């Protein structure tokens, strides 16, 4: 029996950005359809506009009215709105931003209905998408609210898995937001994801220090001794292989990051600067801990290059491929948990 391909839903992000360009470039090679059945949530008119603007008129998509009409060997497109949208590629527009929400909302509806297996989100503009139904700092906060669970932002590449304790908050607020309970929750989430999503049963997790030199015994701040180290110790006592806190500069400079299956950074730039320095264009943003699978590329809307046909689709393609892998791994995990191997605890032979 032929293995069923994952059905991957795709929200288009800001229509004035590079979202549709990287989507179409990703699925232009026919072999991508060997890995999944893609479903784009947008409108025929908008997709056709981008196709013409990018001189990609040979790119084909199949318009469907409902998910039970899927074409499994084609790129599918669901019309989420019928009205015309006036686009100005590269421009910020509140009027255009609302369609990014409409695409995301439709895709999440199909996630809830289990008619798609995973969601890949093209970049939104965090200001223009704001409206009556979207009052969040980004995709992750919206998905947490919609699916009633907490996510851990995890950047994934061949080189590392980088998770964040705090995400989109000012640096001035990081220390006050950190506490042992938060760090422990993030470590549990990472530990669970390594087992469930990556099939690493005893994953080693490095924890970065908040302060330079891990605080130098309180000379450069006491948060690492007072908050971070106790959280790491408690994680160890709970069976999570967490280590640290490590000063971030020497941790990456020495190559120590290669000795771990995942890393927990204390704030956004502490983790994303080294990650993107090593993996930009190949990295994927994964929302670990959600009951659904969501990935996205490691870049933004690219307004400065929108419509110029120069956007690199590599990260979006990796986001699609990771989503496909995660669907399969979670299915295996469910099967294992449903039918666990019984351990024979009988007496040993003399």
Which pLDDT tens digit goes with each residue over 247-291?
999 999 999 999 999 999 999 999 999 999 998 888 999 999 999
Q: Is the dihedral of CA 31, 32, 34, 40 positive or negative?
A: negative
pTM of the model: 0.91
- For residues 19-41, give the mean pLDDT: 97
pLDDT tens column, 104-137: 999 999 999 999 999 999 999 999 999 999 999 8
Name residue 119's beta-bridge partners: 9, 294
Contact by Cβ (8 Å): 187, 207:
yes
Q: Which residues contact 46 (CB under 8 A, 6 or more apart)?
A: 12, 15, 20, 85, 87, 99
pLDDT tens column, 163-179: 999 998 999 999 999 99
What is residue 336's predicted lDDT score, i.e. its pLDDT? 83
What is residue 306's predicted lDDT score, i.e. its pLDDT? 96
Does domain 1-149+290-342 fall under CATH 3.40.190.10? My reply is no
SS3 call for 171: helix
pLDDT tens column, 199-254: 999 999 999 999 999 999 999 999 999 999 999 999 999 999 999 999 999 999 99
- For residues 151-156, give the mean pLDDT: 96
What is residue 328's predicted lDDT score, i.e. its pLDDT? 95
DSSP state of 217: T
Taking the CA atoms of residue 317, residue 321, residue 323 and residue 326 in that order, the dihedral angle to the nearest 10 degrees is -160
Contact by Cβ (8 Å): 140, 151:
yes
- For residues 14-27, give the mean pLDDT: 97
What is residue 224's predicted lDDT score, i.e. its pLDDT? 95
Q: Which residues contact 332 (CB under 8 A, 6 or more apart)?
A: 199
Residue 350 pLDDT > 80: no
Give the confidence band of 180 by pLDDT, cuts at 50, 70, 90.
very high
Fold: same for 1-149+290-342 and 152-288: yes
Separation CA 148–CA 49 (nearest Å): 36
What is residue 342's predicted lDDT score, i.e. its pLDDT? 61
CA 13 to chain CA centroid, nearest Å: 14
Does domain 152-288 fall under CATH 3.40.718.10? My reply is yes
Q: Where are the domains of the chain?
A: 1-149+290-342, 152-288
- For residues 51-73, give the mean pLDDT: 92
């Amino acid at each position: 029996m032929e293995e069923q391909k994952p059905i991957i839903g795709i929200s288009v992000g800001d229509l004035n950005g590079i979202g549709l360009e990287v989507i179409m470039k990703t699925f232009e090679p026919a072999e991508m359809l060997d890995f999944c059945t893609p479903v784009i949530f947008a409108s025929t008119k908008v997709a056709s506009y981008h196709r013409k603007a990018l001189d990609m008129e040979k790119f084909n998509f199949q318009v469907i009215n409902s998910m039970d009409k899927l074409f499994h060997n084609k790129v599918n497109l669901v019309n989420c709105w019928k009205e015309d949208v006036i686009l100005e590629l590269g421009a910020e527009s509140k009027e255009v931003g609302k369609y990014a929400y409409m695409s995301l909302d439709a895709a999440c509806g199909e996630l809830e209905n289990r008619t798609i297996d995973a969601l890949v989100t093209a970049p939104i503009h965090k200001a223009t998408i704001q409206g009556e139904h979207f009052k969040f700092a980004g995709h992750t906060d919206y998905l947490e609210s919609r699916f009633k669970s907490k996510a851990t932002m995890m950047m994934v590449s061949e080189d590392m898995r980088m998770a964040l304790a705090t995400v989109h908050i000012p640096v001035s607020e990081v220390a006050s937001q950190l506490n042992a309970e938060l760090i422990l929750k993030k470590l549990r989430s990472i530990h669970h994801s390594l087992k469930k999503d990556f099939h690493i049963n005893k994953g080693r997790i490095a924890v970065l220090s908040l302060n330079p030199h891990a605080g130098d015994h309180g000379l450069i701040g006491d948060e690492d001794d007072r908050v971070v180290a106790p959280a790491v110790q408690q994680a160890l006592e709970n069976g999570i292989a967490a280590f640290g806190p490590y000063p971030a500069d020497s941790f990456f400079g020495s190559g120590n990051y290669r000795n771990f299956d995942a890393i927990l950074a204390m704030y956004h730039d502490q983790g994303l600067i080294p990650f993107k320095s090593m993996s930009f264009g190949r990295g994927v943003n994964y929302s670990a801990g959600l009951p659904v699978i969501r990935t996205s590329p490691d870049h933004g809307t690219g307004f400065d290059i929108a419509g110029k046909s120069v956007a690199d689709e590599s990260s979006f393609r990796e986001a699609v491929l990771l989503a496909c892998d995660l669907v399969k791994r979670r299915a295996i995990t469910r099967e294992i948990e449903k039918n666990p191997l019984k351990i024979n605890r009988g007496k040993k032979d003399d």
